[in-house]
Amino acid sequence: MNMTELRIILAVIGVVILALVYYFGKKSANDDLDQLQNEVDLDAGLPPTFSNELPRKHIGISVDEAHEIHLAENKPTPQNGKDKVITLFLHAKDGQQFDWHLIQSAANQVGLELGADNLYYRFKGFGSSKEVVFMVANM
């Protein structure tokens, strides 16, 4: 291949890219219809209907009243601790590692117990009335 053929190939690729940019960057007919609908609403004396407008439930109320209404509608459901999962990832600095002896020592110092499955457990209660509060896994 000589330089002229390479230039022709690059020019054809450039024209194809420009055509794709023009084709995909062009406004669709739906956008024009939405704009026309808003103009018709304005001409008829109706408030414009925007598709991205937030729904308004109450008009003419104070911020405090709106906040109270919001809290009443969105009451949090009570959760017990068994429904929660918290994941915390700790990473050693670059080029370093956590010494597993130090991890084991720290877990024992704060009262975590090592289980048969190599997970550390925090229990509530004693003897047969033990309940797992949380567990820690070292991966």
CA dihedral (55, 59, 63, 68) in degrees, to 10, reads -80
pTM of the predicted model as reported, rounded to 2 decimal places: 0.35
pLDDT confidence tier of residue 9, bands split at 50, 70 and 90:
very high
Question: Which range of residues forms the domain containing residue 50?
Answer: 3-73
Residues 6, 7, 10: CA angle, nearest 5 degrees = 85
Q: Are residues 33 and 93 in the same domain?
A: no
Q: Are residues 21 and 53 in the same domain?
A: yes
Rounded-to-integer distance, Cα 102 and Cα 90, Å: 14
Of 1-10, 31-40, 98-107, 126-135, give the range with the top mean pLDDT. Answer: 1-10
What is the number of structural domains in the chain?
2
pLDDT digits (tens, 9 = 90+) for 96-139: 887 878 888 888 888 888 888 878 888 887 777 778 777 777 66
pLDDT confidence tier of residue 13, bands split at 50, 70 and 90:
very high
Per the prediction, the chain carries an average pLDDT of: 74
Q: Of 73, 89, 111, which closes a domain?
A: 73
Q: Are residues 56 and 118 in the same domain?
A: no
pLDDT at 78 (0 to 100): 63
Q: Are residues 106 and 52 in the same domain?
A: no
Q: Are residues 88 and 128 in the same domain?
A: yes
Rounded-to-integer distance, Cα 107 and Cα 100, Å: 10
Q: How many residues belong to the chain?
A: 139
Residues 132, 133, 136: CA angle, nearest 5 degrees = 90
Contact residues for 137 (Cβ-Cβ < 8 A; gap 6+): 119, 120
Q: Of 57, 73, 89, which closes a domain?
A: 73
Q: Are residues 131 and 96 in the same domain?
A: yes
Structure tokens that stand for 34 in this block: 């939405």
pLDDT digits (tens, 9 = 90+) for 79-89: 665 667 777 77
- Which has more pLDDT, 22 or 42? 22
124 with 130: CB under 8 angstroms? yes
Q: Are residues 68 and 87 in the same domain?
A: no
Q: Are residues 62 and 121 in the same domain?
A: no
Backbone angles phi, psi at 113, to 5 degrees: -110, 135
Q: Are residues 91 and 132 in the same domain?
A: yes
pLDDT confidence tier of residue 47, bands split at 50, 70 and 90:
low
Q: Are residues 10 and 60 in the same domain?
A: yes
Q: Of 27, 56, 73, which closes a domain?
A: 73
Amino acid at 129: S
pLDDT at 43 (0 to 100): 56
113 with 126: CB under 8 angstroms? no
